[in-house]
Structure 1
Amino acid sequence: MAPSAAWYLLLLALVAVERLAELVTARRHAAWSLARGGREYGRGHYPTMVALHTALLVGCAVEATYRPFLPAPGWTALALVLAAQGLRWWCVVSLGPRWNTRVIVVPDLPLVVAGPYRWLRHPNYVAVVVEGVALPLVHSAWVTALVFTAANAWLLRVRIRCEDAALDSLSGPRPSVPAGVAP
């Protein structure tokens, strides 16, 4: 295995650890939300989301074994991966205990319009899209980037509709301000 592939596998392992940290945070936040009367929506698509994001990491690892590291696109893609992680955790911090990997809406809480939610309705999904393209391209895994991006486009369509419907069910259609339900 080329040294660049070994470093890339380390990066993928770090992303996997970050995903586990997200799940721990989400579990704690879910308990907080449910204790306050939160209602979960979209349970049906959640296993697909977990499988797709797991497949992203596996696809990257497999494809890296036979693709070269190309410095110019690789370093650029790594910078995008790091920026996506920053945006993701900015979303987590901005939503506080309302952030979750599941769609759980707590009645009577106002929409969050702080942090990146000041400008975007679903900023975490910007991070997901950027990472889904960039993480594979750090090590030229373009097939994984294409397959994940196509599958993720379908999943995000389902997910965003679910979140918007969940928020609409609480208070009617929302004004055109950012949503406070996290992915």
Structure 2
Amino acid sequence: MWLFLFLVGQRIAELFIAHFNKKWMLKHGGVEVESSHYFLFIVLHTSFFFAVFFEWFLVRDGILWLSPLLVSLFLILQGLRVWCITSLGRKWNTKIIVIPDEPLIDYGPYKFVKHPNYIIVFFELLVIPLLFQAYVTAIIFPIMHLLVLMIRLPAEERALGGKF
């Protein structure tokens, strides 16, 4: 149960970080764009935790058999997640906010991949349910993430290209 509570707490903390970063970005000339699809992320991630909990706690009686491989993958993903957030610093957000004329971040994981956080989230949506033996959730939610990204990535590309 401690791992599940940690994950929920982590996501709530990230929403607070995003909120404070949004305020800072708007104060420094940032513009929030293409927000009409944001609710899809809320629905996806909220239902993800309900699905993991339902499948693990209610179907599997809360039994948790931690696999060393899955725990290792989880820890690597957490490190990569922190690397993404710290690389963007005050510019990290769950929403699309652009500060005009600011250069794009091109260091940290962004030196190698344009949208590393979405890759990491894809694998989290696979690995986290597997940690909880929530196999149906591990199949459904990475696919749902890819579907939401079909809307999100073009929106981000337009915003980053100044076409908003």
Q: With structure 1 as the length reference, what TM-score do the two structures score?
A: 0.82
Distance 2:52 2:33 in 1: 30
Contact 1:78/1:135, CA 8 A, preserved across alignment: no
Q: How many residues align?
A: 161
How far, CA to CA, are the matches of 1:16 and 1:40 in structure 2?
26
Q: What residue in structure 1 maps to residue 49 of structure 2? A: 57
Q: Please tell me the residue identity of whatever aligns with 1:155.
A: V
1:18 to 4, 10, 24: 10
Deviation at 1:170, TM superposition (A): 5.6
Which among 134, 137, 150 is matched to residue 143 of structure 2? 150
Q: Is the 8 A contact 1:107 1:170 kept in 2?
A: no
1:160 aligns with 2:153: yes
Say whether 1:77 aligns with 2:49.
no
Name segments (4+ residues, structure 1) moved above 6 Å. Answer: none
Aligned mates of 1:14, 1:52 — CA distance in 2: 19
Superposed CA RMSD in Å reads 1.7
Identity over aligned pairs, percent = 37
Aligned-pair CA distance for 1:37: 1.6
Contact 2:38-2:95 within 8 A present in 1 as well: yes
- Matched ranges for 1:15-164 at <5 A: 15-65=7-57, 66-67=59-60, 69-71=64-66, 74-164=67-157
Question: 1:6: which partner in 2?
Answer: none
Q: Any unmatched runs of 5+ in structure 1?
A: 1-8, 172-183
Structure 2 CA distance for aligned equivalents of residues 53 and 83 of structure 1: 20
Q: Is the 8 A contact 2:100 2:162 kept in 1?
A: no
Q: How far apart in 2 are the matches of 1:35 and 1:123?
A: 26
1:69 deviates by 4.3
Q: Is the 8 A contact 1:134 1:145 kept in 2?
A: yes
Residue 181 of structure 1 aligns with which residue? none
Contact 1:77 1:138 in 2 (8 A): yes
| Unpaired stretches in structure 2, ≥5 consecutive residues | none
- 1:176 matched to which residue of 2? none
CA distance, structure 1, for counterparts of residue 53 and residue 9 of structure 2: 15
Give secondary structure in 2 for the equivalent of 1:43.
coil
- Partner Cα distance (2:50, 2:33) in 1: 28
Q: For residues 155 and 84 of structure 2, what CA distance do their matches in structure 1 show?
A: 18
